[in-house]
Amino acid sequence: MAKKNNQDCLKKLIAMREKVNWEIEDERREFLVQLNPLVKDWKGKLPNLRDIFRKGEIDWLLLENEASDISPKVSLIKFVIKTGYKDEPKVDENGELLFRRTTELHRANKWTFDVRNLFKVYDRFDVNYTDESGLTHLHMACKHGFDYFVEKFLRLGQDPNCVCQETGDSPLHSTVIWDTRTNNRMIKLLLEHGANPNLANNDGSTPMHIICKNMLDMSTAAEPFFETHDRKHHTVLFNAQDKWDQTPLHYALAEGSQRIAQMLLERGADRNVVNAEGSTPLHVLTFFKIDDKVNQAIKVDVRDKLGRTPLQLAVAGVMPNTVNILLNHGADLSEFIFPTLSHFNKAINYIYDKLRIACRLQLVVAHL
């Protein structure tokens, strides 16, 4: 009886497929709805899917499964992997591999579990499938931290500088979103295989901009860029400006990444470069605590496009320690204009303790 029940799943799958007119989309969709619960509770011998489905039908099922509202989606993916199904690359009339193709891997972009498992289906690394946006399988491996797959792609000659046209992101951009030892290794692999550390995406951001924008400590991800620069393997443009004219130093200081800011300064990052608002890194955040080791002239009285000096911003931000540091480094009081009430309101909105505000304001005035 158990043997009969085990055979029932296979017979049911074959019968279901035979009833479908694959040319009719509604019938295909209904088949997919019925397929998920069947494979979820599958019993017995696993089928050879190529004996049941024609070429391209499994591709459609996987792609549509990801795009549909069917839940759980994982059942079908797991089932396909269990059967040992492997994707067969498409070739042109000359037998050349076709790499322009959207796969289930592209659609499963958000889910690391799906991506890892789908690399068991799409296990060819001599072809880097690219969807209509320019997103590649190499981008996916980088984004989800699969250093083993990244190494395979690179060893088989895939381009480390391939760019996703929709975002302008290179594989390096996709890799620097996390600060882990695995990502550190992937960054090194990409750089060793010729990745350009200065490629800018559609926002004008280089990988170093992405690292410095992150609210987390990204020093592990930054290390390979500093190493490749120091060893003169590739000059990294640490003063590159994005479409807002922001440099990596602007972002590092804004996010409080003192370690990265120090490393940038030691390698010639310009603390006086002006962004689109006319602000230097000094306007963004005072960095004198990390500046003593770096011998570079600082314009402490530089004004942004609104005519504000770092000292005025520090006063408006109710930051007595910063005010004191600026004055100790030569900030000019002779033409100092006290910030308007509106400037104070913006800063005070973030400080809820009124007594603390009053104390800090007293300290600010005392320094002046």
Q: Is residue 91 helix, strand or coil? A: strand
* pLDDT at 351 (0 to 100): 45
Query: What distance in Å separates the CA atoms of residue 291 and residue 88, rounded to the nearest whole number?
Result: 57
Q: Where are the alpha helices (DSSP H) in 242-304?
A: 248-254, 258-266, 281-284
Beta pairing partners, 97: 91
Mean per-residue pLDDT pooled into runs of 10, the chain (368 residues): 65 95 94 92 92 91 79 77 92 88 83 80 95 96 96 98 97 92 95 97 97 86 94 91 93 82 90 80 56 56 73 71 73 75 54 56 64
Beta pairing partners, 130: 100, 136
Beta pairing partners, 91: 97
103 closest CA partner among 115, 113, 93, 92: 115
Q: Are 182 and 150 in contact (CB under 8 A)?
A: no
* pLDDT at 95 (0 to 100): 85
Query: What distance in Å separates the CA atoms of residue 44 and residue 5, rounded to the nearest whole number?
Result: 8
Burial 149-182 (b: 16+ CB within 10 A, else e): bbbbbbeeebbbebbbeebbbbbbbbbbbbbeee
Full set of structural domains in the chain with CATH: 1-85 (no CATH), 86-201 (1.25.40.20), 300-368 (no CATH)
* pLDDT at 76 (0 to 100): 87
Q: What is the DSSP letter of 188?
A: H
Query: What distance in Å separates the CA atoms of residue 152 and residue 322, rounded to the nearest whole number?
Result: 50
* pLDDT at 57 (0 to 100): 93
Total count of residues recorded for the chain: 368
How much is the pTM? 0.77
